[in-house]
Structure 1
Amino acid sequence: MKSTLASRRVLVTGAAGFIGSRLCTRLQELGAEVHGVSRRSREGGGAFWWKADLAEYPAAHHVMEEVRPDLVFHLAGEVNGARDVSMIRPTIRNNLLPTVNLLTSASELGGPRVILAGSATEPDPDQIPTSPYAASKAASSIYARTFHARYGLPVTNLRLSMVYGPGQQDYGKLVPYVTRTLLRGEVPRLTSGANEFDWVYVDDVVEAFTWAASDADCMGETLDIGSGELVSVRSVVERIVRLADRTVQPQFGVVPDRSGEVSLLADVRRTREVLGWQARTSLDEGLATTVEWYRERHARDA
């Protein structure tokens, strides 16, 4: 797809994060003027940085007024799949409120394109969310559709599957945790490994964001971004072990499986029909690149 992002003014929330940082790099390569939002003061990386708590409407609107973006990529949020009730308030504050604030401000400023980072955990209307995180993302999706239908805001929601790849430094996530633990010569302690997920490589996800921003046909749509294949946690771990060339055997079953976990397969057919996008990186290829990134980092830090 031909990019239409050259010389466009772009605002990226969560710009310092795993996906956001790679998106910013790609947007700069495509010639966009990139503005990043973070809760902490930042500089460098070729982006213009803004410090703001997007859960506060005045702060969110101030950034939007100052930047006047042509495009907004909203990736910031509280990514935590814990089921306990203590996660309700943080996910409302850090997921739902920033999304509503940005959608409101975008509408008041004349409607820049907005691309949301949704989640595969968002349930269908007749289903119950599996976690406070899933509920907050589902509510964000409902508001996105409302702003598009009622206020004409050009918004697209991309429901991301299990994203992995180089640069992911949240060591509570499976791929970085297992890889880093193996490279240290330690034994990963894991669940049964039976749960299956749709794994998608980070650079493929970044491509989906840039394509969505350049395609008018996907406005008002909610689209799945995944590989269209379910692979078990155990299989992913075993592949990482082979790639890391370690004789250490992970301990499966020593950590309880998360209750209520469901297998969520991305509807890649519809995404391909609407957006023309599909994942291009195989799991084996993506994991090989990812493990090598961690290996180089481990060697530097040793």
Structure 2
Amino acid sequence: MPEAAKTLASRRVLVTGAAGFIGSRLCSRLLEAGTEVHGVSRRRHEADGVHWWKADLAEYPAADHVMAEVRPDVVFHLAGEVSGVRDVAMIRPTVRNTLLSTVNLLTSACWLGSPRMILAGSASEPGPDGVPASPYAAAKAASSMYARTFHACYGLPVTNLRLSMVYGPGQEDYDKLIPYVTRSLLRGDVPRLSSGVHEFDWVYVDDVLGAFISAAAAADLAGHTLDVGSGELVSVRSIVERIGRLTGRTAQPQFGAVPDRQREDSLLADVRRTREVLGWQAQTPLEDGLAKTVEWHRERHADVAPR
């Protein structure tokens, strides 16, 4: 067991968004370390060993209630509206479910003796001109600003981890590139994609779990904002071509079938600073991570014959 995980063995931990892709795997990793794990989500869920709470954290009485009942030593805040859609209709739900839930938790934490707070930020927060490119990016940027305010003004020990493009087994959001392309090819369907020219920093989910646990265990990390990524940019086209080789399917994706998103920026994680401050760096090569991901989807959809 990694040393960082051992330090959390005697702690009481709250994971928000615990039913999600990253949150569910984080709960499992913490349970393996012997941590008392409490999970919260807006939908009813069950997980072996996890004390479960169903609550809408955007409602401040609900956030206060969960925090007061659990009284956590550490909070991993992953809940929020995860869609990167640019449509104006996404602004209100993103402000509510991402920004408001964060502010509610930070406020509750101040009233409860200031537990350690680890926030799941996003690499999409900044832009070259300082203007976020989507409602999601804007809500994450505002959440990050509030986190810095709570640390500077109220002494809350909060750390913001700006996640790059997280992928891996267990990701079933088929609006995301890797799950969508993998399932499509395994089914024999033709993925309809953008131009594929944009580049992103892709980071394997198990490496991200290590960053969260290391941040919770580290001393003197309060107030920091750190990037969590691989430190390498890889294009969408390259990712799709690699998945094609791993699935062994011959269907040719239709690049350019859907328009590119406006203001799509290539954001490379500052891995050197994260390594210096946190002592963490990604360990999983992209080819290995994609192979594990494709195998998970292959087993998941074993009953779906190619069309």
Fold in common (TM above 0.5): yes
Query: Is 2:167 the counterpart of 1:150?
Result: no
> Which residue of 2 is the match for residue 25 of structure 1?
28
- How many residues of Structure 1 are paired with residues of Structure 2 in the alignment? 302
> 1:242 aligns to what SS in structure 2?
helix
Q: 2:256 aligns with which of 253, 257, 269?
A: 253
Relative to structure 1, is the Cα distance of residues 125 and 190 closer, same or farther in structure 2, using a 3 angstrom cutoff? closer
> Which residue of 2 is the match for residue 109 of structure 1?
112
Q: Distance in 2 between matches of 1:57 and 1:301?
A: 43
For 1:110-189, list aligned pairs within 5 A.
110-123=113-126, 127-189=130-192
Identity of aligned residues (%): 77
1:44 deviates by: 3.0
1:45 deviates by: 2.3
> Which residue of 1 is the match for residue 92 of structure 2?
89
Q: Distance in 2 between matches of 1:111 and 1:18?
A: 27
Query: Is 2:197 the counterpart of 1:200?
Result: no
Query: Is 2:80 the counterpart of 1:77?
Result: yes
1:126 deviates by: 5.8
1:138 deviates by: 0.4
1:2 deviates by: 1.8
Q: 1:282 aligns with which of 260, 282, 285?
A: 285
Q: Distance in 1 between matches of 2:234 and 2:136?
A: 22
> Which residue of 1 is the match for residue 193 of structure 2?
190
> 2:85 aligns to what SS in structure 1?
coil
> Which residue of 2 is the match for residue 209 of structure 1?
212
Give yes or no for contact 2:187–2:304 (8 Å, CA) kept in 1: no
> Which residue of 2 is the match for residue 238 of structure 1?
241
1:180-234 deviation line (CA, Å, top 9, x unaligned) = 0000011111111000000000000001000000002321100000000000000
Q: Distance in 1 between matches of 2:128 and 2:11?
A: 36
> Which residue of 2 is the match for residue 263 of structure 1?
266
> 2:301 aligns to what SS in structure 1?
helix
Give yes or no for contact 1:217–1:274 (8 Å, CA) kept in 2: no
Give yes or no for contact 1:117–1:158 (8 Å, CA) kept in 2: yes
Q: Which amino acid aligns with 2:288?
A: E
1:43 deviates by: 2.3
Relative to structure 1, is the Cα distance of residues 45 and 285 closer, same or farther in structure 2, using a 3 angstrom cutoff? same
1:146-185 deviation line (CA, Å, top 9, x unaligned) = 1111101000000000000000000010000000000001
Q: Distance in 1 between matches of 2:215 and 2:105?
A: 18
Q: Distance in 2 between matches of 1:127 and 1:97?
A: 22
TM-score relative to the length of structure 1: 0.98
- State the Cα RMSD in Å: 1.2
**Structure 2 gap ranges (5+):** none
Relative to structure 1, is the Cα distance of residues 36 and 268 closer, same or farther in structure 2, using a 3 angstrom cutoff? same
1:125 deviates by: 9.7
> 1:223 aligns to what SS in structure 2?
strand
**Structure 1 gap ranges (5+):** none
> Which residue of 1 is the match for residue 3 of structure 2?
2
1:301 deviates by: 5.5
* Of 275-284 and 85-94, the range deviating more from structure 2: 85-94
Q: Distance in 2 between matches of 1:192 and 1:124?
A: 21
1:265 deviates by: 0.2
> 1:163 aligns to what SS in structure 2?
strand
TM-score relative to the length of structure 2: 0.96
> Which residue of 1 is the match for residue 296 of structure 2?
293
Give yes or no for contact 1:217–1:275 (8 Å, CA) kept in 2: no
